[in-house]
Amino acid sequence: METISGQSDLLLTYHRQGEGICITRVEAGGPQVIVPEEIRGVPVTAIGHHAFAPGHRQGEGEQIRVAWAASGELTGDNAALESVTLPASLRSVGDYAFYNCAALRQVALWGSTLDWGGSVWMNCRSLSGFRIHLPDERAEVLSYLADELSRELDVTLIYPDGGEARLLFPEYREDYVENGPAHHFDYAIYGPGYPYHHCFRQRALDLREYDGLWPGMLAMDHDPACALRLAWYRLRWPRGLSAEAEQGYLTYLARRGEDVLAWLLERRDTRGLSWFLSRTSLDKAALERACGLARRLGCAEGVALLLEEQHRRFPTGKDKIFDL
């Protein structure tokens, strides 16, 4: 069997499809997979039906081994697969391509992949993170992902100019409840996420509409931790963010200042901590409690930042004047 070098240990089954390669089966040698851009000089343009599905039958076509420096054993069981990076050359993904990849958490892909089959992510219960390289401002592929997955999504968009946006799409749930007396089922939507997952116009992402949903989300029963992260992401990655929306997010975070400090300290995000302290006015007691948490967490840099902020806002001691 031919072996080529790559960035993951893989056994691939593939065949020619038009001007490109269709991968019909992927057997991984570890929890992270980077699918190659080409095989034998031909670009990989398609991922076939059930290609990553654990326990699925062998794909049709030739086989080739992809070897990485840190070679791992190829078990053929993708149930432990945690992250996948798809190639820029990819144009289509088949039905149930990642069926039952229950441990899959993160997928990196390109916005030029616009042909997606049915139920691609079925039973990928841990999947929530996407990193998408965009060919333009429209972010069309995101409209498919947001419509297909009703769970909470953490999405990073990389634009052609190098700028980034990080967006959180809250979870929602659709349900049909039997209405016996009326002899029909009532349709209900739970959670504030539905409008976020559908803030697209002709498949193009509308950031102004996304930000406009914020007051409505706060008015509904929502997850405070989700709201905190959504506001934080928009402020720290403010692509297309208006001054009015910025103030709304910042006001919310300032009101939950201690929760924000705790979250940042637990993540060891000292750059974010410095940024937040420079934009809010927390009282002395809140800063002292945050400083105590930083000590318990062993976050020395966080302690230093908080002590410096306390000294700046609430200086202690008396100025001494010496008269000669």
- Please write down the HEC assignment for all residues of 214-278: HHHHHHCCCCHHHHHHHHHHHHHCCCCCCHHHHHHHHHHHHHCHHHHHHHHHHCCCHHHHHHHHC
Q: Is the pLDDT of residue 172 over 80?
A: yes
Whether the predicted pLDDT of 58 surpasses 80: no
Q: By the 8 A CB rule, do 78 and 54 touch? A: yes
- How far apart are alpha carbons 241 and 234 in whole angstroms? 7
Checking if the pLDDT of 156 tops 90, the result is: yes
Q: Mean pLDDT, to the nearest integer, of 127-155?
A: 96
CB-based burial label for 44 (10 Å; 0-12, 13-18, 19+): buried
What was the pLDDT predicted at 6? 87
| CB-based contact 276:259 (threshold 8 Å) | no
pLDDT at 252: 98
Beta-ladder partners of 173: 190
**pLDDT for 75 beyond 90:** no
The pLDDT tens digits for 82-91 are 999 999 999 9
Rounded Cα distance, 44 and 35, in Å: 9
Q: What is the pTM of this model?
A: 0.89
Give backbone dihedrals phi and psi of 56, rounded to 5 degrees, phi first: -75, 160
> Could you tell me which residue, 8 or 71, shows the higher pLDDT?
8
Query: How far apart are alpha carbons 158 and 156 in whole angstroms?
Result: 7
Rounded to whole angstroms, how far apart are CA atoms 184 and 195? 26
Residue pointed to by tokens 């060919």: 135
- What is the three-class DSSP state of 208? helix
| pLDDT at 180 exceeding the cut of 70 | no
- In 3D, which of 44, 26, 27, 28 has the Cα closest to residue 36? 44
pLDDT for 310 beyond 80: yes
Position 20 scores a pLDDT of: 97
Tell whether the model's pLDDT for residue 71 goes beyond 90. no
Question: Each residue of 226-265: pLDDT tens digit?
Answer: 999 999 999 999 999 999 999 999 999 999 999 999 999 9
276 has a pLDDT exceeding 50: yes
Structure letter (DSSP) for residue 147: H
Beta bridge partners of 27: 11
Beta-strand runs (E) in the chain: 3-5, 10-17, 20-28, 32-34, 38-39, 42-47, 62-67, 83-85, 92-93, 106-110, 115-116, 129-133, 153-158, 164-169, 173-179, 184-190, 200-201, 204-205
Question: Which domains are seen in the chain, by residue range?
Answer: 3-223 (3.80.10.10)
Q: How does residue 322 score in pLDDT terms, banded at 50, 70 and 90? A: very low
Check the CA dihedral 129-111-138-156 and report its sign: positive
Distance CA 210, CA 275 (A): 24
User: 109 CB contacts (<8 Å, ≥6 apart)?
Assistant: 85, 86, 90, 130, 131, 132, 133, 141
Percent of the chain with pLDDT over 90: 81
Q: Let me know: does 71 contact 25? Beta carbons within 8 Å.
A: no
Does the pLDDT at position 177 exceed 90? no
What is the C-alpha separation between 238 and 19, in angstroms, rounded?
A: 40
Average pLDDT in the chain: 92
For the chain, count helices (H), then strands (E). Answer: 10, 18
Indicate whether 72 pLDDT > 70: no
Give the pLDDT mean for 213-233: 97
DSSP SS3 for 1: coil
> What is the structure's pLDDT at 324?
42
| Sign of the dihedral through C-alpha 31, 65, 17, 90 | positive
Ranking 57-66, 168-177, 183-192, 236-245 by mean pLDDT, the lowest is 183-192
